[in-house]
Amino acid sequence: MRIGIDARLNAYRQGGIAQYTRLLLAAMAPLIGEDTLVALQHRRQPQPMTVARNVERALLFTPPHNRFEPLALPIELLPQRLDLLHSPDCVAPRLRPCPAVVTIHDLAFLRFPDILDADAQRYYGRVRASAHAAQAVIAVSESTRADIVELLDLPVERIDVVYEAAAPSFRPAEVGAGEQRTINERPLRAGEFALFVSTIEPRKNLETLLRALRVCLDRRPQTGYRLAIAGVRGWLDGPVFDLIRELRLADHLDFLGWPEPSQLIWLYSACRLYLNPSLYEGFGLPVLEALACGAPALVADTSSLPEVAGDAALLIPPRDVAAWAAAIMDLWEDDAARIALARRGPIQAAQFSWDRAARETLAIYRRVGR
C-alpha cells in the first residue's frame, strides 16, 4: 500500500498534533515492511520529516485549515496514487481518491465552543461529517472515545483507541542539588519551584493554581513557594493577569515562554512539584512527559488525565482551590512522598510507547486499506 500521512500542519506548528504526526511517522518507518509511507508536507517545509527507505515526501501547495482545502487538497492528492490517507488533524477531505483514517485528539471545541474564531469554526465544523465518512477513527484515549460517541454520535465499535507517548528524549535528567539554570532570562534553582506547562488559556485553569498559591503563601510565608510557568499567552488570557495583580503574585511567578526541549526536560526533572489543573484534555501529553522525567505530580481528576497518570500522580478536583493548596503544602514538605511519586512516574510513562502506537496504527491501516 501507499499510505499518505497528512503532515502539512508541521510546517506551521511544533507541538500537539504536529508532534504526534512527526513521532508516529518516525516510529512507523521501520515497521512498514514493503508498504510505503508518503509524508504529505507543505512546501514551506521542504526538508524531509523522516529519512528512511520506505518513506517518501510529497510537497503540497494547500495550507492546512485553508478555506479552499476541501477542493484543492483532493486535486493535489490524485497524483500521489494513495491507497490510504491518514488525517491526524481530525478532518479528512470529503472528496478523496482512497479510504481515510482520521485521528481525533479531543473535542475541546465542542466542550468549549468559545475557543474558536470564525476560521476555526469553519474547519472544525467538518469534524462530525468527516468522522462518519472515515473508514476508521482513532481516539488517543478512552476519554476521547467516550466524547466522540456522545458528541459526534459515532458508534463506539467504529473507534479505535491508540495512546500517544512522550518523546523518547523525556527521561530523568541528572540534576545536582540546588543546581541553577537561567531559562529565557529567568533564573531557577532545582527543587525550589513548582512547574506549570501549557499555553495560558481558560481551559488550562491556571487561575485555580494562582488562588491556591496565594493560600500557600498566606499560610506559610516563610516557605518561599514559587511557580514557574512554561508556556505562551493564548486566547482570553487577560483575566489571568488581572488575577495575578489582584492576588499580588508577580514576585512569586516566573514566566518562561516556550522553553527549548532540553530546557523543558531539565524543568520537569528539577521542579519540586509538577502541577496540571486542566479542565479538559484529550490525552494530556505534558503529564506523561513530566512523569517520564520523574516529576512529583499533582493532576486534575478529569477527562483523560487519570488514564495517563494512573497511580503515579495525586489526583485533585480541578476547581477545588482548597484541595490544591493543601496538596501543594503537604507534598512540598514531604520528601518521602515526592520520592515515591518520582519513582512511579517513569514506570507509568513506560506503559505508553511510540512503537506500540505505530504497530496499532499500522494494524488499522491494513484492516481498512485497499
Domain 2-165+353-368 maps to which CATH number in 3.20.10.10, 3.40.140.10, 1.20.120.1730, 3.40.50.2000?
Answer: 3.40.50.2000
Domain 180-349 maps to which CATH number in 3.30.460.80, 3.30.300.20, 3.40.50.2000, 1.10.3720.10?
Answer: 3.40.50.2000
User: In a 10 Å sphere around its CB, with 0-12 CB exposed, 13-18 middle and 19+ buried, how is residue 150 labelled?
Assistant: exposed
Mean pLDDT of 176-187: 91
Which amino acid makes up residue 74?
Answer: P
* The model's pTM: 0.92
Q: Which three cell numbers stand for residue 290?
A: 513530566
Give the residue among 74, 4, 73, 79 at the shortest CA–CA distance from 35: 4
The pLDDT-based confidence of 233 (bands split at 50, 70, 90) is confident
- The mean-pLDDT minimum among 89-103, 199-213, 230-244, 295-309 falls in 230-244
Mean pLDDT of 325-349: 97
pLDDT higher than 70, residue 42: yes
pLDDT higher than 70, residue 370: no
User: In a 10 Å sphere around its CB, with 0-12 CB exposed, 13-18 middle and 19+ buried, how is residue 365 labelled?
Assistant: buried
How far separated are the first and last CA of the chain, in Å rounded? 7
pLDDT of residue 37: 97
* Structure letter (DSSP) for residue 209: H
Rounded Cα distance, 101 and 20, in Å: 15
Q: What are phi and psi of 106, to 5 degrees?
A: -165, 170
pLDDT of residue 322: 98
The pLDDT-based confidence of 15 (bands split at 50, 70, 90) is confident
Q: Which residues pair with 253 in a beta bridge?
A: 227
pLDDT higher than 90, residue 109: no
Q: What is the spatial order of strands in the sheet that 84-87 belongs to?
A: 55-60, 36-42, 2-6, 84-87, 100-104, 136-139, 159-161
Specify the domain boundaries for CATH 3.40.50.2000 within the chain: 2-165+353-368, 180-349
Residue scoring higher pLDDT (15 or 2): 2
pLDDT of residue 232: 79
